[in-house]
Amino acid sequence: MTQIAMKRKKTRPVFLGGVKVGGNAPVVVQSMTSTDTRNVISTVGQIRMLEDAGCEIVRVAVPDREAAGVLADIKKQITIPLIADIHFHYQLALDAIARGVDGIRINPGNIRKDKMVRIARAAKSRGTVIRLGVNSGSLEKDLLKKYGCPTSQALVESALRNLAVVRDAGFDDIKISVKSSDVLTMVEAYRELSEKTDCPLHLGVTEAGSILNAAIKSSVGMGILLYEGIGDTIRVSVTGDPVSEIGVAYGILRALNVRRVGPDIISCPTCGRCEIDLSGLAREVEEKLKGMKSYLKIALMGCVVNGPGEAAEADVGIAGGRGSGLLFKKGKVIRKVREKDFVESLLREIGTMTVGEKEA
Amino acid sequence: MTQIAMKRKKTRPVFLGGVKVGGNAPVVVQSMTSTDTRNVISTVGQIRMLEDAGCEIVRVAVPDREAAGVLADIKKQITIPLIADIHFHYQLALDAIARGVDGIRINPGNIRKDKMVRIARAAKSRGTVIRLGVNSGSLEKDLLKKYGCPTSQALVESALRNLAVVRDAGFDDIKISVKSSDVLTMVEAYRELSEKTDCPLHLGVTEAGSILNAAIKSSVGMGILLYEGIGDTIRVSVTGDPVSEIGVAYGILRALNVRRVGPDIISCPTCGRCEIDLSGLAREVEEKLKGMKSYLKIALMGCVVNGPGEAAEADVGIAGGRGSGLLFKKGKVIRKVREKDFVESLLREIGTMTVGEKEA
């Protein structure tokens, strides 16, 4: 009964290595390492964990020339496109481009226009993509003064005038982000920006906090935008392990049927009607299916009110009663199962479902 | 720099005890117990924990007459309005109404129209509010047949035809929900319903799963609707401890500036530039501020890129450097603080901020 997703706004695609962002490409999930970039072993290790979790583009901080110096070394040990995150020093951007990164993110709030032109020319010669990464915490001083604080209009003005700078330099492989730590500001900024440019947009709520708060803010902000067809790549910013960002990102995309990756677990809030340990069941099933990329709708239901209905709509499901439950598959009851056998029975059925449930 | 919230769609308010739902009332946060309702001690205990967390209306399952029999006893021990959740048996609804509950939720998918008329008359005589709680997992059989599966149109048709039944019985104190476990279906259903009725709407994504998945689905679904001004009361359904639902609910409302309750923590994702233990700091500050009802924006930032900007926009903030940080308050730097004193300094400043930061 999943409804179809909204029509996506058409953008002019860019290519990061083999990954297309924008145009008719799927919304790309990305993240950023939290390691010291100069520590190649730990950085590559974290990138590989991100790759395993489903991350499709990765960004690393480049705070100094030593960090820029290891980018080629990192790149050759990973399989997803590598982005260098640059602030303040244009020379670091030139270094990163020379090291062969797939893209750079520059912050127009802390890099001068004439330096941006030099970066754009270097990027053009190497086929490097540039993201103009505007951020509420580091907006140009004149815009802060003009608007009083980082409003959505200020973020959009920064994006558009810097877009003009790099475009005037003959450069066109551009993505844009206008992140704010305030969800409404971010929503309004992206909506306005998307009317004024056909550049692919990288969505994010910046500094969104620890995992649960980040999930809430990112889901609200990106959810509104994606529902309106806005957004070509997303990053959920979590204070903590970046690997946790990936599950949240796919959860948002799955909720709106923008992409169907991973298990979709439907489980009830276990009210006074519930006579099985549903919380435990949900936790165990989630744990066992961690890392699963195929889309599958799994219903874990505690009673007869909505249990049979939800289980029948799912690919596989349990409608629990007292100490036992009915096992459903593709809308049909397969058999009655004892509570202690729930997990094993579900996993056996899921194991037999491999055709037609891959990512849409 | 927080932007103003969207204009809310006007609904005709209902009153549950002292709590107004709809009209110009704030969006009300509610939850449901997961205890055996017949166990009054554990049910009241859980309701008190929900109250402490900020829950404003509570619902309990009423699966049998024994559960209905204890409702008056529960009600006199709690301070927030009590709702009885009724399925299948209209007599349980009559029992609950007679026991003095503030509202009942009935499921039109499993209660016959003629019985609904009897419930509506009883509710009218006692001033009890009724929620018509339509749910994708328990839709009327004829609608399932007509639409093939629980589409948004099917949910709306169920709501409207049952609304007509209770209204024809002369009853008007009605809230409506059209919950689906599918986020897009739920969004479309509420959008359509809100055009066709002025009854207050209770928003929810049903069977949303464990805390993180529930936060994602609920934030996406309710976020889209609240952004459009739709929704008068919300419930986040979590498979697990219902107390955890309350923080998520306020997080969603805070993100859209619909209600400003509790601390809003802005903290960065600790990239390779970060030279303090920001994850640990964020965790500790979150833990220490648990249960705080006043709104306060707190920025915990790891480096100089966005740190000073975000900290200056917050009510209180730390912009960290190597082993120390600048303490900000209301846009001004107060002093430099060593990393080991971050938490204490922040809490001391927060303790001195008590005026003007209460719920908007």
pLDDT at A303: 86
Burial A13-51 (b: 16+ CB within 10 A, else e): bbbbbebbbbeebbbbbbbbbbbbbbeeeebbebbbebb
Strand partners, A251: none
Together in a domain, B202 and B269: no
d(CA A271, CA B180): 17
A97 and A231 share a domain?
A: yes
Domain shared by B81 and B145, yes or no: yes
Average pLDDT over residues A111-132: 96
Q: Is residue B20 domain-shared with residue B157, that is, in the same domain?
A: yes
Cβ–Cβ below 8 Å for B184 and A3 = yes
Which residue of chain A is at minimal alpha-carbon distance from B144?
A309
CB contact under 8 A, A219 and B220: yes
Distance CA A154, CA A147 (A): 6
Average pLDDT over residues A89-96: 97
Quote the pLDDT of residue B357: 39
* A15 vs B: CB within 8 A: no
Residue B358, pLDDT > 60, answer no
Asked whether the predicted pLDDT for residue B2 surpasses 50, the reply is no
| Kind and range of the H or E run holding A226 | helix A211-227
Interface confidence, given as ipTM, is 0.95
A360 in a structural domain: no
Determine whether the interchain pair A272/B306 forms a contact, defined as Cβ–Cβ distance below 8 Å. no
A45-90 pLDDT, tens digit per residue, is 999 999 999 999 999 999 999 999 999 999 999 999 999 999 999 9
Kindly state whether residue B67 falls inside one of the protein's structural domains.
yes
The reply to whether A7 falls in a domain is: no
Statement: residue B353 has pLDDT above 80 = no
Both B221 and B332 in one domain: the answer is no
Q: B153 touching A, CB under 8 A?
A: no
**Greatest CA separation found in chain B?**
72
Q: Show the domain range for A295.
A: 263-354
pLDDT at B331: 86
Question: Quick one: average pLDDT of A193-199?
Answer: 97
A242 and A110 in a single domain? The answer is yes
Phi first, then psi: give them for residue B329, nearest 5 degrees. -145, 120
Q: Which of the four pLDDT bands, split at 50, 70 and 90, describes residue B5?
A: low
Per-residue pLDDT tens over the stretch B123-132: 999 999 999 9
B299 Cβ contact list (under 8 Å, min separation 6):
A181, A207, B265, B266, B267, B307, B310, B311, B313, B314, B316, B317, B318, B319, B328
Give the percent of chain A with pLDDT over 90: 85
Would you say B232 and B27 are in contact if contact means Cβ atoms under 8 Å apart? yes
How would you class A353 by CB atoms within 10 Å of its CB: exposed for 0-12, middle for 13-18, buried for 19 or more? middle
pLDDT value of residue A172: 96
Angle between helices B342-351 and B278-288 (to 10 degrees): 30
User: With contact defined as beta carbons under 8 Å apart, do B262 and B293 qualify?
Assistant: yes
The predicted structure's pLDDT at residue A7: 84
**Do strands A324-329 and A316-320 pair parallel, antiparallel, or not at all (unpaired)?**
antiparallel
Half-sphere exposure of B129 (CA within 13 A, CB side): 27
The arithmetic mean of pLDDT across residues A313-330, rounded, is 91
CATH number of the domain where residue A309 is located: 3.30.413.10
Both A154 and A126 in one domain: the answer is yes
Q: Looking at the predicted structure, is the pLDDT value of residue A357 above 60?
A: no
Closest residue in chain A to residue B241, using alpha carbons only: A269
Under the banding of pLDDT at 50, 70 and 90, the label for residue A1 is: very low
Q: Is residue A9 part of a domain?
A: no
pLDDT, one tens digit per residue, over B17-67 is: 999 999 989 999 999 999 999 999 999 999 999 999 999 999 999 999 999
Of A181, A187, A242, which is closest to B266 when you measure between CB atoms? A181
Average pLDDT over residues B168-190: 97
DSSP E strands: which ranges in B87-212? 103-106, 129-135, 174-179, 202-203
| Residue A268: closest CA among A277, A255, A260, A259 | A277
Mean pLDDT of A138-153: 94
DSSP H or E run through A286: helix A278-288
Of A231, A255, A279, the one marking the end of a domain is A255
- Mutation to test the A interface, candidates B270, B286, B287, B330, most A Cβ within 10 Å: B270
Residue at A161 is within a domain: yes
Query: Hey, is A133 helix, strand or coil?
Result: strand
User: For the residues B259-268, what does the mean pLDDT come to?
Assistant: 93
B310 at interface of A, judged by CB pairs closer than 8 A: yes
B345 touches chain A (CB under 8 A): no
Question: Is B198 in the same domain as B123?
Answer: yes
Are residues B128 and B39 part of one domain?
A: yes
Q: Please check whether residue A40 touches B, CB under 8 A.
A: no
Closest Cβ–Cβ partner in A4, A138, A309 for B305? A138
- Residues of A in Cβ contact (< 8 Å) with B268: 206-207, 237, 239
In a domain, B2, yes or no: no
Of A255, A288, A319, the residue that ends a domain is: A255
Helical axes B40-53 vs B243-255, angle rounded to 10°: 20
B204 and B326 together in one domain? no
Q: Quick check: A155 pLDDT over 90?
A: yes
Number of domains, chain A: 2
Closest in B33, B216, B248 to A251, CB measured? B216
Q: At how many degrees (to 10) do helices B211-227 and A211-227 cross?
A: 40
Tell me, yes or no, if B37 comes closer than 8 A to chain A by beta carbon: yes
Indicate if the pLDDT at residue A230 is higher than 90: yes
Determine the residue type at A68. Answer: A
The per-residue pLDDT of chain A, averaged, comes to 93
> What pLDDT, on a 0 to 100 scale, did the predictor assign at position B152?
97
> Both B39 and B184 in a single domain?
yes
Instruction: Extract the tokens encoding B235.
Output: 């419930």
Q: Which of residues 57-96 of B touch A (CB under 8 A)?
A: 60-63, 67, 85, 87-88
Quote the CA–CA distance of A237 and A335 in Å, as a whole number.
Answer: 43
pLDDT, tens digit, for every residue of A254-311? 999 999 999 999 999 888 888 889 999 999 999 999 888 999 999 999 888 888 888 8
- pLDDT score of A178: 98
Task: Give how far A312 is from chain B: nearest CA, Å.
Answer: 9
For residue B135, the domain's CATH number is: 3.20.20.20
> What is the residue-averaged pLDDT of chain B?
93
Considering the domain architecture, whether residues A105 and A206 belong to the same structural domain is answered as yes
The per-residue pLDDT for A4 is 52
Give the residue from B134, B219, B257, B276 with the most A CB atoms within 10 Å of its CB, the best one to mutate. B219
Which pLDDT score, from 0 to 100, does residue A321 have? 87
Residue that finishes a domain, picked among A239, A255, A271 = A255
Q: Locate the chain B residue with the closest alpha carbon to A238.
A: B269
Q: Is residue B4 part of a domain?
A: no
Q: What is the mean pLDDT of residues A79-102?
A: 97
pLDDT value of position A305: 87
Q: Tell whether A146 is covered by a domain.
A: yes
